[in-house]
Structure 1
Amino acid sequence: MTNCVNRSLFYCSALLLTALQVNAQTEKVNDLYQQTSEVNNVMVQYNADNGNLVRFYTVENSPERRARLLEVNKSYQAKLQALNFDNLNTGTKVDYVLFDRKLKEEQYQLQLEEKDYNAVKKWFPFADSIYALEKRRRRGLLLDPSQVADQFNTAYKTVQDLQKKFAKENAIAMEQGKRAEGIIKGLRSALKSTFEFYNGYDPMFTWWVPQPYKKLDSVLAVYSDSIKVKEKSITPQKDDGSGIFGNPIGASELQRRLQLEMIAYTPDELVAIANKEFAWCDQEMLKASREMGFGDNWKQALEKVKTMYVKPGEQPAAMLALYNESVEFIKSHDLITIPPLAEETWRMRMMTPKEQLINPFFTGGEEFSISYPTNSMSQDEKLMSMRGNNPHFSRATVHHELFAGHSLQEFSTNRYKTYRHFETPFWIEGWALYWEMLLWDQGFAKKPEDRIGMLFWRMHRCARIIFSLNYHTGKWTPQQCIDFLVDRVGHERANAEGEVRRSFVGSYDPLYQIAYMIGGLQIMSLKRELVDSGKMTFKQFHDAFIQQNMMPIEMERAILENKPPAKDFTTSWKFYNF
C-alpha cells in the first residue's frame, strides 16, 4: 500500500514538474512575442503627434509644413536615444532599430524635399503670399477681399510671364520637375482651401475673389502641364514606342533602398538569384509540358492552358471554387490559423476596364477584385483578359490574394501589434508569394495544367526582378521589359504592357516588384531554420510570423529566433543558397 502511495506521489510530482516546465516554456515564448512597452509608447506618441501636424499643415511641400515635421522628427530621435537600449528585450530592440530607421528615412526625405524646393523656388515667387493666406485661413481671420483679389490677379500675371520664360528652357531634371508639380498641387490646394472657406460666407469676398481665383487656379494647372512636357524631353528613357514614361532611379539609389529594406545583396546578385530560380522553373515547366504531350515546347503547353478559360460571367464562381479548394487544403494540412470572422467577411468586386489597364490580373485583401472582360472592351482585349486569368493561372494566386495571403495579412495587422506598421513590400508581397511556394511544395498543384499555371506566376516573379532592376539601372527600356515578359514568360502582350505600366508609372516603389520573390525566399529560408529543423510546427511558425505585424524579414528572424539586433544594426543576412 505504501509503495503504491509513493509511486502515486512520485507520478504526481513528475506531472507537476512537467507542467511547470511547460508553463515556463510557454511564458518564455510569450515574453518573446509580447507587446513591447518603452519603444511602443514612443512610437504611439510620435504617430499621434505627426498625425496632428499633417492634418494641420496640409499644404504639401510648403516650407512651414516641412520645418515643423523636421522639428518633431528630431525631437523623437532624441527621445529614442534617451532609452537604455541594452535593457530592452529582443522584440523591443527590434522596434528600436526599426523606429530609428523610420525616423532617419523620414528626415532624409524631408531634407531631399527641401533641396528640391530650393532648386525650383525661383519658378514660384508668389508662393509665400499664398501660404500666408492659408495660414490666416486656418484660424478664420478676416481678410481684405479686394487685396486678395489683387494678389490673385498679380500672381496670375506672374505665372503667365513665367510660362513664357519657362518655354525657353531646354529641359529640367525629372526630380525637380516632379517637385515643381508637387508644389503647384500644394499651392492649388491652399488656394482652394481659402476660397471655399470664405466664398459664400463673406459677402465682400464673394463679390471680389471668385473670378481672380478661377483664373489663377486655371493658369497654375496649365503651368503644371508645361512642366510635365519638359520632364519628358529629358527622361533618361526616351519614348521607345511603348508610351510608358517612368523614372529610373539609378544603381546608387537602388543600393540605398536595398539597405533600407535590409536586403544584403547588390542588384547584380539579385538578378543572379532570379536567374537561378528561373532555371528551376524552366525544368519544372518542361516536365509538365511533356506530361501534357507537348514535349519540350512548353510555350505550346502554356498556350493550351490559356485556352482553358471560363465563359463570360462565370469567373466569380470559378474563383470561389478555387478559394474553397485552397482553404480546405490549408486546413487539412494544419498550416495556419484562419479565424472564422476573416473567412466570413472577405468579399468580391469586379475591376473596371480602366483599372485593368494598370492591373490586368485580380488583386486581393479583404476585398477580392476580379479582372475579367466587360462588354466595353474590344474583341482582342476580351480574349487576352480571359486567357490571362484562366483557372490554372489563378490556382497560384487565389491563396496569394485571400488565405493565407493578403486577406489574412490585413486581418492580422489590424489586430496584432498594431503600433508596428513598418510597411515593406518584402513582408507584404513576400508573405503572399511564400504561400505560392509552400503550397507547391505541399502538392497543391495536382495536374500538369495546374503546375504550368503556378509556374507561369513563379516565372513572372523571377522576371519582375530582372526587368525592374535592368530598367532602374538604365539598361532596359519599357518596351524591352514588355518584350521580355512576352518572350520569356509567355504573357499576353496587353497584359505585359499593363504589368510594365503598373511597375513604372503607378505609385509603386521601385523595389516593389522584386519584393515578391525576394521576400518569399527570405521567409522560405526562415521556414527551413525553424520548421524544417523541428523547432516549430508549420502552424506555430505561420501564426507567430503573421502576428508580429509588418517589418523587414530579417527583423522577423531576430524576434522568432530571439537574436537581438545591435543598436547600430546593419543588414547582413545572406538568406539565399547559391
Structure 2
Amino acid sequence: MDEFLAWHFQSHPIVAAYLGADGYDHTLGDFSAAHLQAVEQEERRWIARLSQSQAPTPDDAVDRDLVLSHLRGSVAMAQWPTWRRDPAFYLSPVFTALNTPFQQRLKPEPELVSAAVAKLAEVPGVLAACRANLDPTIASPLLVQRGLGQARTGRHLLTVTIPGLVEDDGLRAKLAAAAVPAAAAFDGLVAFLEGFTCGGSWRMGEELYSRLLRERELLGYGAADLHAKGQKAWADLDGRMREVATRVDGTHDWRAAMESLMDDHPATLADMRAEYEAETLRAREFVRERDLVTFPDGEECLVQPSAEYARPVLSVAHYLAPPPLGSSRTGIFFVPYTPDGFTPEQVRQRLRTNSRAQMPSIAVHEAYPGHHWHLSHIAGNPRTVRKVFRTPYFTEGWALYVEKLLHEQGYFDTPATELAHLDCRIFRAARIVVDTALHCEDMTIEQAEEFMSTRASLSPGTAQGEVNRYCAWPTQAPSYLTGALEIERIRQAYDGPLKTFHDTLAGSGGLPLGLAEKAVLG
C-alpha cells in the first residue's frame, strides 16, 4: 500500500496536496496525453499485482480491495476518456489547487503564496494540454459549454479573488503579478472554446454505467436494477409525503405544499449564509445531546459563500473537508451563491430552493452528523489508504442516512420541516431515475428537467442546473439514496449500540458499500 500510494501521489500531485500529503503543493502535475496514457497503463499493472497479493489480515484485505475497486473503475473509464471530452477535467483541478489552500489557510501566508506562484507558472501548460487533448469527434457541446462557463471565471479568480485573500501587500502584489500570464492563458482558452466545434455525446451508455456500479461501487447490480429501485423509492416517498402534506396545508398535494413553504426564505444571499450558520450550530448541539456519534477533537465547521469559480456549475450546497492526511479538523460548508450575472429573479429562485423549511435537512447533510462530522472522523483512521480513496456512494449515502436518523430522533419537529426532509429524500430518488435514464438513452434533457421540476420541488432554473450536472457526472447523482439504503440495510444486521455502529461504520472510511459491510460485520 505504501508503494502504491507513493506512485499514486506522484502521478496525481493535486490530489496529494488536497489530501494533505507533504511535498506536492508547488505543482499542478503533467496533463499531457502521453502522461495520462502512461498512468492508465500503470494502473493496469497495479491491478494485476494487487489481484495476486495475499492480505495478512481482514483489514489489509479491505485496503487491497478498496484500491482495486478504485483502479478498476479508473480503467473502465478509459473507454470514456474524460480528458478528451470535457474541459472541466483541466479546469476544476486548477481552480481547486489554487483556491483551496487560501480557503483553508493551513500554512503561513508566505508559504501559500510561494506555492501559488509556482502553480500559476504551470497554468498555461495545463490549459495548452486541454486545447491539444480535446477531441472534437467525442467531446460533447454540452460539456464544452459547461467548461466555457468555468473558464470565463478564470481571469477574475486569479487576478482579483485569490490575491484579495492575501493580507500582506507585498505578497499580494507578487501573487497578482504571477497571475497575469495565467489569466492570459485563460483568455486564450475561452476564445478557443468559443470557437470549438464538436459532435460527441455526453451519454455514457448502459454497459459502462453498469460496469462502474459493479466493479467500482461493488453494488452487485446494474443500471436497469438501479433505475427500478429509484422508481420504487419515489413511489413510496410520494405516498408518505401526501400524508404529511395534509398537516401542512390540508391537502394531499405535497408539491403545492412545498411551493408554499419555499416562499418563506431568507431575503438575500448573505442572509441565507447567516441562517445556515445558525442551523449548523443547532444541528451540532442536537447530535451532541442525543449522543449519536463521538466528536473528533478540534473539529469545526465554517459556513461560507460558495467559491466564485464553482457558482456557474454548482447550484446546491456543498462541503470542503479538512485534508485527511493533515492535522486540521476544520471543514467548510459552502452556501450556494449565484454567479454575479444572475438576474434578481434567478437569485430569488435560488433562495426559494434554500427555504427555511429546507435548511435543517441541508445543514444536517452537509455538517452534523453528515459530511463534516464523517470526514473529520475518518481523518483519525490510522490506515492511510482509507483516507485517500472514498466513494460518493458511501459519503453521500452517509449524509442522506443521517437525515433520516435525525428525523427518527425528532429533529424535524414541525410538519413543514418533516415535509422538507422527505422532499430532500424524494429529490434523491428522482436523481436515480433521471441519471440512469439520461445515460441509458431513455430520457431527453428536456424530459429530465421537467421530471426534476415536477417530481421534486426544484425551480425550473435549479432543475436545469441539476440536469446539466448529471450529464457531466454520470453515476454520481444516484449515490445519495442508493448509499443511504445500503447503510440502513447494514444497520439492521448490526448487533450493538447505535452510537457504536455510527462510529465504526463511518470510521471505516468511505468504502464501497460491499466493503463497508465487511469492515463492520466481518
TM-score when normalising by structure 1: 0.63
Partner of 1:537: 497
Q: What SS is found at the alignment partner of 1:481?
A: helix
Does the alignment pair 1:492 with 2:452? no
Is residue 555 of structure 1 aligned with residue 515 of structure 2?
Answer: yes
Are the counterparts in 1 of residues 311 and 336 from structure 2 also a CA contact under 8 Å? Answer: yes
How far residue 369 of structure 1 moved from its aligned partner, in angstroms, is 1.4
- Say which is worse superposed, 270-279 or 413-422, in terms of deviation: 413-422
Deviation at 1:434?
0.9
Residue 93, structure 1, aligned to residue 47, structure 2: no
The equivalences for 1:6-405 within 5 A come to 40-48=1-9, 50=11, 58-63=29-34, 65-66=35-36, 68-69=38-39, 72-73=42-43, 76-77=46-47, 79-80=49-50, 83-85=53-55, 88-107=56-75, 172-174=137-139, 228-231=196-199, 235-236=200-201, 247-260=202-215, 261-312=217-268, 313-342=270-299, 345-351=300-306, 355-365=310-320, 366-371=331-336, 377-405=342-370
Question: Distance between the aligned counterparts of 1:301 and 1:308, measured in 2?
Answer: 12
Distance across 2 between alignment mates of 1:443 and 1:424: 29
Task: Confirm whether residue 418 of structure 1 aligns to residue 374 of structure 2.
Answer: no
Secondary structure, in 3 states, of the residue corresponding to 2:303? strand
Q: Report if the CA contact (8 A) 2:141-2:197 is conserved.
A: no
State the alpha-carbon separation in 2 of the partners of residues 495 and 176 from structure 1: 20
d(CA) in 1 for partners of 2:141, 2:252: 51
Q: 2-side partners of 1:482 and 1:52: how far apart?
A: 37
State whether residues 424 and 550 of structure 1, in contact with CA within 8 Å, keep that contact through their aligned partners in structure 2. yes
Does the Cα contact within 8 Å between 1:349 and 1:368 map onto a contact in 2? yes
Deviations 1:401-427 (A, max 9, x none): 011111123323433123222231101
Give unmatched runs, 5+ long, in structure 2.
16-23, 86-130, 148-184, 321-330
Change (3 A) 1:175 1:385: closer
Contact 1:286 1:298 survives alignment (8 Å): yes
Partners of 1:315 and 1:372 within 8 A in 2? no
State the secondary structure of the residue aligned to 1:490: coil
Give 1:464 shift: 0.4
Q: Which amino acid aligns with 1:546?
A: A
Aligned to 2:416: 449
CA contact (8 A) 1:292 1:301 kept: yes
* Distance in 1 (alpha carbons) for counterparts of 2:411 and 2:485: 19
Give the direction of change, closer, same or farther, for the CA distance of 1:92–1:444 in structure 2 (3 Å limit): same
Whole-Å separation in 2 of the counterparts to 1:341 and 1:309: 32
Give the number of equivalent residue pairs: 413
**Mean alpha-carbon deviation: is it higher for 42-51 or for 384-393?**
42-51
**Cα distance between partner residues in 1 of 2:340 and 2:14:** 47
Kept in 1, the 8 Å contact 2:397–2:480? The answer is: yes
Q: Residues of 2 paired with 1:504 and 1:356: CA distance?
A: 17
**1:46, distance to aligned residue in structure 2 (A):** 3.7
Distance 2:33 2:504 in 1: 43
Letter in 1 for 2:452: L
Unaligned runs of 5+ in 1: 1-39, 118-158, 163-168, 183-215, 237-246, 563-578
Identity %: 20
Aligned partners of 1:392, 1:488: CA distance in 2, in Å? 18
Distance in structure 1 (CA, Å) of the matches to 2:451 and 2:13: 46
Task: Output the CA distance in 2 between the equivalents of 1:401 and 1:324.
Answer: 12
Instruction: Write out per-residue CA displacement over residues 326-376 of structure 1, whole angstroms, 9 at most, x where no aligned residue.
Output: 22221222111122411xx32121236874443333222411112356986
Aligned-partner Cα distance in 1 for 2:14–2:258: 53
Residue 82 of structure 1 deviates from its aligned partner by: 5.6
For 1:102, the aligned partner's letter is H
List per-residue Cα deviations over 1:263-301 (Å, max 9, x = no partner): 222322212212222122222212222112332222221
Once the two structures are TM-superposed, the CA of residue 520 in structure 1 deviates from its matched residue by 0.8
Question: Measured at CA, do residues 472 and 72 of structure 1 come closer, stay the same or move farther in structure 2, by a change above 3 Å?
Answer: closer
Alpha-carbon distance in 2 for matches of 1:504, 1:309:
29
Q: What's 2:157 paired with?
A: none
Quote the Cα distance in structure 2 between the aligned partners of 1:114 and 1:390. 35
1:75/1:467 CA distance change after superposition, 3 Å: closer
Mark the CA change 1:75 to 1:451 in structure 2 (over 3 Å): closer, same or farther.
closer
Sort the Cα spacing of 1:364 and 1:415 in 2 relative to 1 into closer, same or farther, 3 A. same
How many Å separate the matches in 2 of 1:315 and 1:217?
A: 32
Tell me the secondary structure at the aligned position of residue 317 of structure 2: coil
**Larger Rg over CA atoms:** 1
Q: Secondary structure at the match of 1:338?
A: coil
The 3-state SS of whatever aligns with 1:230 is coil
Distance 1:353 1:380, change over 3 A: farther
Q: What is the aligned partner in structure 2 of residue 476 from structure 1? A: 443
- Structure 1: how far apart are the matches of 2:451 and 2:191? 37
* CA shift in 2, pair 1:357/1:109, >3 Å: closer
Report the alpha carbon displacement of residue 477 of structure 1 after superposing the two structures with TM: 1.4
Distance 2:203 2:47 in 1: 32
Matched, 1:465 2:436: no
Superposed displacement of residue 73, structure 1? 4.0
Deviations 1:529-561 (A, max 9, x none): 11xxxx221111111112222220110111111
Counterpart secondary structure, 1:434: helix
TM-score (norm 2): 0.70
* Contact 1:468 1:514 (8 Å CA) reproduced: yes
Is contact 2:312-2:338 (8 Å) kept?
Answer: no
Write the distance in 2 (CA, Å) between the matches of 1:446 and 1:453: 11
User: Aligned equivalents of 2:38 and 2:28: distance in 1?
Assistant: 9
- SS across alignment from 1:498: helix
